[in-house]
Amino acid sequence: MKIGLQVSYFSWPDAPASIGPTFGRIAQDAEGAGLSSLWVMDHFFQISMVGPPELDMLEGYTALAFAAGLTSRIQLGTLVTGVTHRHPGLLVKTVTSLDVLSGGRAWLGIGAAWNEEEHLGLGVPYPALKERFERLEETLQIAHRMFAGDESPFHGRHYQLERPLNVPAPVSRPHPPIMVGGSGERKTLRMVAQYADACNIFDMGPEAVRAKYDVIDRHCADVGRDPAEIERTVIARMPLARRGQGAAASGEDTMSVAQAVDKLGALAEIGTDAVLFGLPDAHQPQVFELVAELVEQVGASATDAG
């Protein structure tokens, strides 16, 4: 199983001056601990599940470009970009640029968008849910075309691109992996089956996550796709501590490395390929000693299982 880190909180002591050095060190520590990927949210205001909107929030692709310059191996992506946040042609160009400059480490993570507050606050149009899904599907179609170098005009219901030129081409082959985030069974998971290289499901417990994988399998059968082509990822919170049952700085109950290994094992048993986890104390360098232990133990477990 692969393990990635999502950073969703930036209001560290002495922010904003501390944000750059702290986030840069987190990126380097995540790579040094053996994590496979680093993710940031694509939001412009902090989201209510984490804190009030006034908390610090970085623009996602600027943050990833900064991290790319400080690392050499770890993969980089947004978890996930709201389809309404950027015009699709510019979004594909942005992800391609990140891929080229990072040596082929970029992902395109995308979803239908949901945070109306930041749209209204910054003057970004926020259409009804039906239209957002229509825009998501057109954006996925445009991404496949542009990543493949297809410059032919695209005329959709919501987007018209006369020459979707994308030069330089991505370094990743066949293209930067596309992740569709969300668990809606009728629309989101169908688009996973039809267009995506990976899904991302919230940690609802192994049985509920397995049910979502089953839906993906059925959609794959409908569109004639091998479901093994789709990487199955879960986003989870894992507040690591040397001994579990305490409290992280965020107030969350902590878990030991052994408890985290058990959690990952339960998700692996249902076919999860990667867990992307939030670490509330990521600004504290010592926590990455535990992350390294987790990576080592999960790697050993995977080897033993093989």
**Residue 306: what pLDDT?**
37
Contact, 121 vs 82, CB < 8 A? no
- Local structure of residue 280 (DSSP, 8 states): T
Taking each helix axis from N to C end, the angle separating 287-305 and 19-32, rounded to the nearest 10 degrees, works out to: 30
pLDDT tens digits in sequence order for the chain, 306 residues long: 999 999 999 999 999 999 999 999 999 999 999 999 999 999 999 999 999 999 999 999 999 999 999 999 999 999 999 999 999 999 999 999 999 999 999 999 999 999 999 999 999 999 999 999 999 999 999 999 999 999 999 999 999 999 999 999 999 999 999 999 999 999 999 999 999 999 999 999 999 999 999 999 999 999 999 999 999 999 999 999 886 555 555 566 889 999 999 999 999 999 999 999 999 999 999 999 999 999 999 986 544 443
The pair of three-digit structure tokens given for residue 214, joined into one six-digit string: 């089953």
Q: In whole angstroms, what is the distance from residue 53 CA to residue 46 CA?
A: 4
* DSSP helix/strand/coil, 6: strand
Whole-number CA gyration radius for the chain: 19
Contact, 257 vs 293, CB < 8 A? yes
Give the CATH number of the domain where residue 49 resides.
3.20.20.30
User: Range of 59's domain?
Assistant: 2-305
Structural domains in the chain (count): 1
